[in-house]
């Protein structure tokens, strides 16, 4: 059956201490797809403009993604121009051009409406809700958001949180939405808003997963090789949701594995610009690094 990902497909211009790349293929849905595809069929739901290079579309197709609901509209593609300086954990946005994203109404084919698994990557919560309502009987619904929507569309986001199983937030978003500074308390508070699972991404510090009864803590893969962290959170979510889609079970054991796969997928993402490293990633690469990772986790 696979998984639907709703999000952005973008043209990213990124500068880090290690170089600069212009108009790379990027966006939340593209990064998510690169890791989720290792576990399941990924259906991309996003919008691109008339200016979107054909080679990028070919690339996404070659990676095995279903592009039936990748809409092409008049107008310019969504573009993000960002930069990382000393602190590679923190992106500085130089420019954002919404283009066709500004009035995007996502659609699904008849077959896609029957899919049970969906990840609503970062995009306007009203658009996320619109797509979720199009689905016949979703079973596993993951949601990501960002500080902009927490501030400006809080009510829509709170309504949406009641409908999702998994809410994925970074540490600052979790603090902003919950009003709690301590992340374990923040997770508990977000859990009360609806989702059965709250996942807090802490970048180089790993993740926390809270599921009401149990809590799971995992450090990040310890590495000094960080070239471009753009999309690491989406790559994490792709590995996490992709594995859960494949395993079909949600229990403590499958959540532990899902968090580990997400962590390791993200560790590859940051090793090169854009999708360069994750687009040639294999499940064997993930497994190999996961085995090493297990050895370097204390406990």
Nearest to 97 by CA among 7, 5, 13: 13
From residue 183, give the alpha-carbon distance in Å to each of 90, 141, 264, 299. 18, 22, 22, 21
- 230 strand-pairing partners: none
Residues in 102-141 that interact with a copy of itself by CB under 8 A: none
Considering the complex, what minimum distance in angstroms separates the CB of residue 226 from a copy of itself?
A: 6
Q: How many residues bind a copy of itself (CB under 8 A)?
A: 38
131 contacts 6 by C-beta, under 8 angstroms: yes
Q: Which is nearer to a copy of itself, 107 or 188 (CB)?
A: 188
Q: How far apart are CA 64 and CA 59, in angstroms?
A: 9
Alpha helices in 162-277 (DSSP H): 171-178, 183-191, 232-247, 252-269
Q: Which is nearer to a copy of itself, 184 or 280 (CB)?
A: 184
Q: How far apart are CA 22 and CA 11, in angstroms?
A: 8
- Under rule CB under 8 A, residue 34 binds a copy of itself: no
- Under rule CB under 8 A, residue 297 binds a copy of itself: yes
Q: Which is nearer to a copy of itself, 110 or 294 (CB)?
A: 294
- Under rule CB under 8 A, residue 296 binds a copy of itself: yes
Q: Which is nearer to a copy of itself, 170 or 263 (CB)?
A: 263
Q: Which is nearer to a copy of itself, 4 or 218 (CB)?
A: 218
Q: Name the 3-class secondary structure at 11.
A: strand
270 contacts 229 by C-beta, under 8 angstroms: yes
| Interface map 195-234 toward a copy of itself (x if CB under 8 A) | -------x-xxxxxx----xxxxxxx-xxx-x--------
Residues in 83-102 that interact with a copy of itself by CB under 8 A: 86-88
Q: What residues make contact with a copy of itself under the rule CB under 8 A?
A: 86-88, 181-185, 188, 202, 204-209, 214-220, 222-224, 226, 256, 259-260, 263, 293-299
């Amino acid at each position: 059956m696979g998984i639907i990902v709703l999000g952005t497909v973008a043209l990213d211009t990124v500068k880090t201490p290690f170089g600069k790349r212009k108009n790379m293929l990027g966006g939340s849905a593209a990064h998510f797809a690169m890791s989720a595809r290792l576990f399941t069929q990924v259906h991309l739901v996003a919008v691109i403009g008339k200016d979107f290079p054909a080679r990028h579309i070919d690339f996404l197709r070659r990676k095995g993604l279903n592009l039936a609901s990748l809409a092409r509209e008049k107008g310019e593609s969504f573009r993000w121009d960002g930069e990382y300086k000393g602190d590679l954990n923190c992106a500085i946005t130089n420019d954002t051009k919404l283009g066709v994203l500004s009035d995007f109404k996502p659609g699904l084919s008849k077959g896609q409406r029957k899919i049970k698994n969906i990840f609503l990557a970062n995009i306007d919560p009203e658009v996320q809700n619109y797509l979720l309502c199009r689905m016949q009987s979703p079973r596993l619904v993951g949601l990501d958001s960002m500080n902009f929507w927490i501030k400006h569309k809080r009510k829509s986001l709170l309504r949406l949180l009641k409908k999702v199983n998994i809410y994925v937030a970074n540490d600052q978003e979790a603090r902003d939405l919950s009003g709690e500074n301590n992340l374990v308390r923040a997770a508990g508070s977000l859990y009360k808003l609806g989702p059965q699972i709250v996942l807090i991404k802490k970048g180089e510090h790993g993740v926390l997963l809270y599921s009401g009864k149990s809590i799971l803590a995992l450090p990040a893969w310890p590495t000094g090789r960080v070239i471009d962290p753009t999309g690491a959170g989406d790559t994490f979510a792709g590995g996490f949701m992709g594995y859960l889609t494949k395993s079909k079970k949600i229990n403590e054991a499958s959540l532990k594995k899902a968090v580990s796969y997400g962590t390791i997928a993200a560790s590859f993402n940051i090793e090169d610009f854009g999708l360069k490293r994750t687009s040639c990633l294999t499940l064997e690469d993930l497994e190999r690094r996961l085995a090493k990772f297990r050895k370097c986790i204390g406990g």
